[in-house]
Structure 1
Amino acid sequence: MLRRIELEVLATVERGDTIAELAAKLDHSESYLSRTVAELVEKELVYTERDGRRKRVLPSAARAVEIYRDLVRQHSHVDFPELLTGKALEMLYYLNQPRTVSEIAERSDNYRNTVNRVLKRLRDRGLVGTDDGRYDFNGDFDRLHDFARELIHHHHRQRLESVAPSGTILWEDYDEFLAQTETEIEAEHFHETGLARFAAFDLQFLLTRHRYYLYSEDVETVPPAELCCHTLLIDDDTRHRSYCLLLLSHVDVDESDLRERAAKYDLEGEIDTLLQYLESRGEVEDDRLPEWSEFQELAADYEVPLDP
C-alpha cells in the first residue's frame, strides 16, 4: 500500500519542508525524493506549494495522515516505516478485535506463515501481544488499526471519486468495496450489483435512480450468493428481503457458499433467517419478512416456482 520511503516522508515532513530539506533529513537524493513526493501527491497524502523557485511539501488533512503522524510523535523510538511495509497494514486492518493467526489468515486470504511472520515482528517490538492464542494491541497501539482502516478508506474513496465523484461507499474491506452512485460506471474492476443485477437471473425489478457496484480485482461478475448479500447491505427492509427470497428460490445457490459469503459481510444472522423462512414456508417471526401468502403471490407474479 505504502512503500517505506513514503512512510518515511509522512513521518518526517514538517510544514513547508522543501524537497532538498527532506532529502537531507532522509539521506536520499533529491530526484528520488521528488518522485516519492509526486506519488504521495497523487495519493492525496501530501500536497505541494510553490515558494518562488522552490516547492514546499505539506502533509494533507487526510485522517490517515493525522493518525500516523500522531503515532510517530508519541512513539519516536518505534521505526514505523520499517514495521508497516509489506503485508503489515493488511494484517493490522483485520486486527480490529483480538484474533488468532488462523482467523486473520482466513479474513485476509493470506497464508498462516505470512500472518505469523508479520505479527511476530510487531510482537517483538511490543506493539501487539497474545492472550490465549489471540493477538491484540498493547496500550494505545490499537491506533495502528485505525491508521490502516483510514488509509484503505482513503484509497477506496479516491478510486471511487475518479469514476463517480458523488458516489458513496456502503461497505468496504481491505481490497473491495460496495458503492452507490447516481451514474453508470464502466471502469475496469467495477461490477454492477444491486437490483439491476437481478436481470441477469431473469428477475426484472423497478429500479431507482441509484446504481450499485462492487469494486473487486478478483471477480469477473457478481454471483447470486454475493448479490443476495449486497442486496441486504443496500437496504435490509421487507422489499429487499423479498427480492433475495425470490433469487434464492429461483436460482440454485449452494448453501455453504452463501453462508461463507454472509460471514464475509457479517450477515450470518440475516441469511440464516432467510433460509429458515424458505425451509419452513414462512414460519419465522420477523417484521421485515412478508407473510408467506404475500410471498407466494410475489413469486407467482415473477413466475418463480416455490418448493412444495
Structure 2
Amino acid sequence: MLRRIELEVLATVDRGDIISELAMKLDHSESYLSRGVGDLAEKRLVYTERDGRRKRVVPSDARAVERYQDLVRQYPHIDFPELLTGKALEVLYYLDQPRTVAEIADQSDNYRNTVNRVLKRFRDRGLVGADNGRYDFNADFDRLHEFARQLTHHLHRQRLETVAQKGTILWEDYDEFLAQTETEIDIEAFHETGLAQFAAFDLQFLLTDHRYYFYSEELDILSPADLCCHTLLIDDSSRYRSYCLLLLRLVDVDEDDLREQAAKYGLEDEIDALLRYLETHGDVTDDRLLEWDEFQKLAAEYEIET
C-alpha cells in the first residue's frame, strides 16, 4: 500500500519542507526522495508547491496522515516506517478486535505464516499482545488499526474519484469496495453490480438513476452470490429482498458459497433469513419479507417456480 520511503516522508515532513532538505534529513538521494514524494502526491497524501526553483512538500489534511503523524510524534523511538512495510497494514486493518492468527489469515486471504511474522514483529516491540491465542493491541496502539482503516478508505476514495467524481462508497475492505455512482464506469476491475446485473438472468427490474460497481482486482466475474449480497448492501428493503429471493429461486446458488460471501459482507443474518424463507415456504417472522402467497404471485410474473 505504501512503500518505506513514502512512510518515511509522511513520518518526517512538516508544513513546507523543501525536497532537498528532506532528502538530507532522511539520508536519501534527492531523485529517490522525489519519486517517493511524487507517489504520495498522486495519492493526495501530500501536496507540492513551487517556491522559486525549489519545491516544498506539504502534508495533506487526510485523517490517515494526521493519525500517522500523531503516532510518530508520540513514539519517536519506534521505527514505524520499518514496522509498517509489507503486509503489516493489511494485518492491522483486520485487527479491529481480538483475533487469532487463523481469523486474520482468513479475512485477509494471507498465509498464516505471513500473519504470524507480522504479528511477531509488533509483539516484539510491545505494540500487541496475545491472550489465549487472540492478538490485540497494547495501550493505545489500536490507533495503528485506525491508521490502516483511514488510509485504506482514503486510497479507495482516490481510486473512485479518478473514474467517477460523484461517488459514494457503500462497503469496503482492504482491497475491495462497493460504490454508488451517477455515471457509467468502463474501467478494468470495476464490475457493475446490483439490480442492473439481474438482467443477465432474465430478471428485469425498474432501475434508479444510480449505478453500482464493485471494485476488485481479483474477480473476473461476479457470481449470483456476490450479486445477492451487493444488492442487500445497496438496499435491504422488502422489495430488494424479494428480488434477491427471485434470483436465489431461479439460479442454483451454492449455499456454502452464499454463506461464505454473507460472512465477508457482514450479512449472515440477512442471508440466513432468505434461505430459511425459501426452505420453509415463508415460515419466517420478518417484516421485510413478503407473505408467501404474495411472493408466489411475484415469482409467477417472472415465470419462476416456487
TM-score (normalised: structure 1): 0.98
1:62-107: per-residue Cα shift (whole Å, max 9, x none)? 1100000000000111100000000000000000010000000000
Secondary structure, counterpart of 1:205 in structure 2: coil
In structure 1, distance between residues paired with 2:243 and 2:206: 11
Query: In the alignment, what sits opposite 2:98?
Result: 98
User: What residue number does 2:81 align with?
Assistant: 81
Task: Report the alpha carbon displacement of residue 205 of structure 1 after superposing the two structures with TM.
Answer: 0.7
Structure 2: stretches of 5+ with no match in the other structure: none
Q: Give deviations 1:124-167, integer Å, cap 9, x for gaps.
A: 00110001110000011000001001111111101110111101
Alignment-derived partner of residue 243 in structure 2? 243
What is the match of residue 228 of structure 1?
A: 228
In the alignment, residue 176 of structure 1 is paired with which amino acid?
E
Q: Name the residue aligned to 2:113.
A: 113
Q: In structure 2, the residue corresponding to 1:140 is in which secondary structure?
A: coil
Distance of 2:77 and 2:34 partners within structure 1: 27
Counterpart AA for 1:231 = T
Q: Which amino acid aligns with 2:162?
A: S
Alpha-carbon deviation of 1:116?
A: 0.3
The answer on 1:266 being equivalent to 2:275 is no
Task: Give me the whole-angstrom Cα distance separating, in 1, the residues matched to 2:142 and 2:225.
Answer: 34
Q: Residue 207 of structure 1 aligns with which residue?
A: 207
TM-score by length of 2: 0.99
Identity of aligned residues (%): 78
Alignment correspondent of 2:32: 32
Unaligned runs of 5+ in 1: none
Post-superposition CA distance 1:151-209 (Å, at most 9, x none): 11111101110111101100001110000011111001000100001001111111110
Return the offset for 1:222.
1.1
CA–CA separation in structure 2 for the residues paired with 1:109 and 1:268 = 19
- After TM superposition, the runs of 4+ consecutive aligned structure 1 residues lying more than 2 A away are none
Cα deviation digits, residues 210-261 of structure 1 (max 9, x gap): 1111000111111101111001000100000000100000000010010000
Greater CA drift, 187-196 or 34-43: 34-43
Counterpart for residue 184 of structure 2: 184
Structure 1 position 278, deviation (Å)? 0.6
Structure 2 distance, partners of 1:261, 1:65, is 32
Which residue identity is paired with 1:273? A
- State the AA in 2 paired with 1:39: D
Q: How large is the RMSD of aligned CA atoms in angstroms?
A: 0.6
The worse-fitting range, judged by mean Cα deviation, of 49-58 and 143-152 is 49-58
* 1:1-308 paired onto structure 2 within 5 Å: 1-306=1-306
Cα deviation for residue 35 of structure 1 reads 1.4
How far apart, CA to CA, are the structure 1 residues paired with 2:281 and 2:39? 57
Letter in 2 for 1:265: Y
Residue range with higher mean Cα deviation, 119-128 or 50-59: 50-59
Structure 1 residue 12: Cα displacement: 0.5
77-86 or 47-56, larger mean C-alpha shift: 47-56
- CA distance in structure 1 between the aligned counterparts of 2:105 and 2:148, rounded to whole angstroms: 17
Give the whole-Å Cα distance in 2 for the aligned partners of 1:83 and 1:89. Answer: 9
Distance (whole Å) between structure 2 residues aligned to residue 168 and residue 14 of structure 1: 31
* Count of equivalent residues: 306
